[in-house]
Amino acid sequence: MAQPGSCAFFYSHATSYSMKLPERLVRAIEAETGKFEGKALARAAVELSARYQREDFSCPVLTSDAHRAAYLAVRLPATLAANARVLEEIKHLAADVEIASMLDLGAGPGTALFAAKETFPELGYATLLESDPSWLKMGERLAEHFDPAIEVTWTQSDLRRPLMVEEHDLVIMSYVLGELPQGAIESIVRSAWKLARKFLVIVEPGTTRGFATINEVRSTLIAAGIAILAPCPHHNVCPMAVAGDWCHFAQRVERTSLHRQLKGGELGFEDEKFSYVVAAREPRSTPAARIVRHPRKHSGHVQLTLCTAEGLKQTTVTKSQKSLYREARKAGWGDGWGVPSTE
């Protein structure tokens, strides 16, 4: 990790790399999906996909155990990959910080827990709040396949009610706020921040609606004087929103055979698009810019679209720039770029 005063802050997540589910989690999912006939599981998967594509959360998305099992097969891998990508960003920008505890608000089957344990080996305690008792039971069964050294507390709780829980190093809300009433978001975020000893992470689908939620959260945090660690390289008005665009990123995830079967896909991977924001209790050095589009790599030059404190900028890095050009050739969508800065 580059420190203040060093010459550069370039790094790459290698977004073309396909994340793969841990084998123990694959086995746990297979144990759950194996309880249902193939046709019932396939029908549930189709219904889930249609609901998510419409972003229709006016009624519960998961109405049966078959829906939940289908979710484990076709959605959990993608959301886990997005969470892991965001948590890796924290690990990169704050490599000296230990994450010993985490609180997941709206935990579902424990997706964020699985991602956090893979990212932070020192994680020893987790509290997972979820309103659906069926998810709690399924999540507990999945967690049995993981490190028994982690102490996990599962609690049934509605996020719209006062959160009766202690502070944790990391607080995360993943693919949750978009399913809650619009008027409840600000108060929930403020309550979540009070419980975050070090970082607050919020992840939403990489759609215009998902980004709108993230941008609202970002504005709320900045107005409260809270430091943004990622992905934003500044605390100004979001230039993507000003341009009528939406800020999102993508993480490739390897599909299991069941995943391909239920989705009817031929490719061995899919790209999960997501929007996110990470707030930090202590301000830290961050990249001066963020690459917000796939770099356009040509023979002899690379074109980058950057989010900066001065707005969106297009820059071209040529082969004559040597070390800078080498970094640009390795750079990916979502990576930091530029000399470190603090606000």
Contact (Cβ atoms closer than 8 angstroms) between residue 302 and residue 295: yes
User: What distance in Å separates the CA atoms of residue 302 and residue 117, rounded to the nearest whole number?
Assistant: 36
| CA 17 distance to own-chain centroid | 16
Residue 187 pLDDT: 93
Residue 51 pLDDT: 74
User: What distance in Å separates the CA atoms of residue 163 and residue 129, rounded to the nearest whole number?
Assistant: 9
Contact (Cβ atoms closer than 8 angstroms) between residue 341 and residue 288: yes
Contact (Cβ atoms closer than 8 angstroms) between residue 136 and residue 110: no
Rg (CA), the chain: 20
Dump strand ranges (E) for 73-224: 101-105, 125-130, 151-156, 168-174, 196-205
Per-residue pLDDT of the chain (343 residues; tens, 9 = 90+): 333 333 334 445 544 567 888 888 888 999 999 998 888 888 888 888 777 676 665 555 677 889 999 999 989 999 999 999 999 999 999 999 999 999 999 999 999 999 999 899 999 999 999 999 999 999 999 988 776 678 999 999 999 888 999 999 999 999 999 888 888 899 999 999 999 999 999 999 999 999 999 999 999 999 999 999 999 999 999 999 999 999 999 999 888 777 777 766 666 778 999 999 999 999 998 999 999 999 999 999 999 999 999 999 999 999 999 999 999 999 999 999 985 544 4
Cβ contacts of 162-165, under 8 Å, gap ≥ 24: 162/191, 163/105, 163/129, 163/191, 163/192, 163/195, 165/103, 165/127, 165/129, 165/195
Contact (Cβ atoms closer than 8 angstroms) between residue 115 and residue 102: no
pTM assigned to the model:
0.90
Considering the segment(s) 23-280 as one domain, its CATH architecture is: 3-Layer(aba) Sandwich (3.40)
Residue 342 pLDDT: 45
State the number of CA atoms in the 13 A half-sphere of 221 facing the CB. 32
164: its two tokens = 């009766």
Residue 188 pLDDT: 94
The CATH 3.40.50.150 portion of the chain extends over 23-280
Residue 256 pLDDT: 76
